[in-house]
Amino acid sequence: MVQIIIENGHDLEQLESASDQLEYKILSLPDDELPSLTIPLFSLLNEMLGKVHMTQRYAFHPKLMSPLKAALHWLLINLTDQKNEPIEVDEEHFRYLHLSGLRVFDAQALSNPYCSGIPSLTAVWGMLHSYQRKLNEALRTNVRFTSFSWFIKDYAAVAGKKLPELSLQGAQRNKLKRPGIIDGKYCDLVFDLIVHIDGYDDDLQKVDSEPDILKAHFPSTFAGGVMHQPQLSSNVNWCCLYSNENQLFEKLRRLPLSGCWVMPTEHKIGDLDALLLLLNNDSKLSPSMTGYMLLTEAKARVGALEKLHCYAEPAIGVVKYETAISVRLKGIGNYFNSAFWVLDAQEKFMLMKKV
């Protein structure tokens, strides 16, 4: 590279002229000097706004100058803080499974009778539990999927009603009939899942050595919908194992800005009025089904599928939608401490909560 620059005087001139450009300074300046570029960046931003007809009125607008300058300064400071320092790698027995670009069609958007939006968190947990059982049966291991993190890349509500299939049910078994239409809400979505896997060294090494088994036993259904891997034409390695948190976060920090993380919160809801007040004060918060509250003690009942049976009702909790850039700026430590969900099963409830 050095020889090319020396032999070609034109390239050397380009390199010298580039040293005065703002882009070069952002890449080359020491971290503690980056906030000094606030004013040049602010000027460039206003110049770009002035070049577009629809945004010309915002260029150097007196009411926007102060907040824009403050936002740029905050961004440059957060890019240079210590939040993204690598995590020390210990000898714990774990892996992270990153499933990227998963596509789901006609998933149940009505997570419980009161909330419509994303599928319930318990649906994610149930799908992963099924995946864990199939994987252990295939590899004869005893690995455990202990927690997960959920990033939704794309979401679209499905319009219209689903028409039931014709069947021979009813009094006249010789005639095809269509059952009644049950109203429901459905959605299509594309998402990533990051699954924390625990196990003994021998079991984890078996998982490492059989990447095709991971793909072969991946579930085909999720929240009542059909789940597919990314299209083959995309040529994406959608099923990756990581034993290092730093390597995983290097990939996660490049996720698209259009998506969002579904994050746990510490909010406790006592009644509907408190929930509505909380949602009105923060647009990033959303109600979602987080599990079940048991109404009776578990006991044997005739006709039950399992030995013990009890009645329960869905529990509504609050999740927070965080943008990809927000999680990236808050750093690797915040992500691994705040973004993972786990099932807390007690005598009176089964609830999804922060790890």
pLDDT confidence of residue 133 = 93
pLDDT confidence of residue 90 = 60
pLDDT confidence of residue 208 = 87
Q: For tokens 């909790």, what's the residue?
A: 317
User: Under the phi-then-psi rule, with left for phi > 0, alpha for psi from -120 to 50, and beta for the rest, what region is 308?
Assistant: beta
Reference 23, options 44, 2, 5; nearest CA is 44
pLDDT confidence of residue 325 = 85
The one-letter amino acid code at 143 reads: V
- DSSP annotation of 159 reads P
Q: Are 95 and 144 in contact (CB under 8 A)?
A: no
Reference 145, options 195, 179, 75, 72; nearest CA is 195
C-alpha to C-alpha distance for 240 and 188, rounded to whole angstroms: 24
pLDDT confidence of residue 155 = 92
pLDDT confidence of residue 83 = 58
C-alpha dihedral sign at 302, 308, 310, 314: negative
Reference 143, options 214, 247, 191, 90; nearest CA is 214
The one-letter amino acid code at 209 reads: S
Q: Are 131 and 138 in contact (CB under 8 A)?
A: no
pLDDT, averaged in runs of 10, over the chain (355 residues): 40 52 78 83 89 88 88 78 60 84 90 85 92 92 93 89 70 69 84 93 88 89 90 83 89 87 89 88 89 88 87 90 88 90 89 90
- 10 Å Cβ neighbour count for 4? 9
pLDDT confidence of residue 272 = 85
**CA separation, residue 117 to residues 14, 82, 197, 297 (Å):** 52, 36, 28, 31
Q: Are 150 and 162 in contact (CB under 8 A)?
A: no
Tokens representing 200?
């003994």
Reference 352, options 147, 190, 98; nearest CA is 147
Tokens representing 109?
């958007």
Torsion of CA 96, 101, 104, 110, to 10 degrees: 70
Q: For tokens 């995983």, what's the residue?
A: 248
Helix/strand/coil (H/E/C) assignment for every residue in 101-129: EEEEEEEECEEECCEECCCCHHHHHHHHH
pLDDT confidence of residue 127 = 93
pLDDT confidence of residue 159 = 82
**CA separation, residue 209 to residues 4, 79, 203, 204 (Å):** 43, 37, 10, 9
**CA separation, residue 193 to residues 147, 148, 206 (Å):** 10, 7, 21
Q: Are 175 and 226 in contact (CB under 8 A)?
A: no
Q: Does pTM surpass 0.85?
A: no
**CA separation, residue 167 to residues 125, 171, 175 (Å):** 32, 12, 8
pLDDT confidence of residue 31 = 72
Q: Are 207 and 95 in contact (CB under 8 A)?
A: yes
pLDDT confidence of residue 4 = 37
